[in-house]
Amino acid sequence: MKKNIRHQNFEEILQELKDWGEPKFRATQVYEWLWKKFVGDFSEMTNLSKGLREKLEDHYFIAKVKVHHSQFSNDGTIKNRLLLNDGNFVESVIIPTDKRLTVCVSSQVGCSLSCKFCATGYLPRTRNMDFDEIVDEVTLANEQALQHFGKGITNIVFMGMGEPLLNYTNVLKAIEKITDPECLGMSPRRITVSTAGVAKMIRKLGDDQVRFKLALSLHAANDAKRNDIMPINETNNLKELVDALNYFYAATKNEITFEYILLNNVNDSEKDAAELVKIYRQVPADLVNIIEYNPIDAASFEKTNDAGSEAFLHYLEAKKVNARLRRSRGKDIDAACGQLANVDRVEK
């Protein structure tokens, strides 16, 4: 059975080629084709002999992610429907602003957390994405960014489909590749991993001394409301999350952000804002991102109106909370926060 060559480390490739009688520099060439030039086929490795390329083809495959379809928003946002090697789909989004080009990447096919305001939460979790597939999301977005905006991706947010901390090993391995100077060489400070709140794994991030930023999808600042809209809170309550975030910060000193979607008559009252202030003061968070709700067919929530959003924000600011209102991008192509839900599958 053929093996995914990108799941072999350099030493394994080196040993395999050595067993085939190839010199050491051939392994270096193969590895550069895979992780610097990101080829999707052995035939593209043009500085290898035809015989070696054919031998690699006989023993290995490259599970290259492909752009199946792209949609372009009126505000410049690009949503990609990505086809995985096994026929599953995920979605990623390129978000352009004046100062940044951010790619929002997925980490799972579907999701198991069932957050009621999120379209992905209504899908079953089919599987975790492999680390090389996540790297492909970034490299494909970078190619598109260069093509459409004349510059590459500047930031990465793990805020697409799935819960990154429930695919811990692959997410961290993908970030290791993305930040490797011999691969993409991006600064970990330009990467944010967003979690719905898996306390045990937040602590593990601290133990592993990660260097990227962390965002907590909070969305309610008391346990009763959070239990209702985010079932994960039933096993990872706010006290546990606060303790885990403080543990993470003490271990890493990395930036922490709270994400808070405003839902009309659910979590947008002055009392809700006061509860959010209390949570904010218990954690060394840098920022609270107040997010507009983007309607989905599966849920009946409504967006808080502009006046209510501004009042919520002003209350936080008056209490010395560093907060900002983040306007949604890509709503016209269902690319905004909480709207990713590609359920189609291609049969191979």
Helices (H), 188-237: 199-207, 223-229
Does residue 277 come out as left (phi exceeding 0), alpha (psi in the -120 to 50 range) or beta? Answer: alpha
Given 91, 133, 259, 292, the catalytic residue: 91
Chain centroid offset of residue 320 CA: 30
Q: What angle do CA 62, 67, 73 make, to 5 degrees?
A: 155
DSSP letter for each residue of 276-334: HHHHHHHTT-SEEEEEE----TT----BPPHHHHHHHHHHHHHTT--EEEE----GGGT
**CA–CA dist 144, 159 (Å, integer):** 19
Residue 58: which H helix or E strand, with range? helix 50-59
Given 104, 111, 183, 337, the catalytic residue: 337
**CA–CA dist 97, 86 (Å, integer):** 34
Say whether 337 is catalytic: yes
Residues belonging to the active site: 91, 337
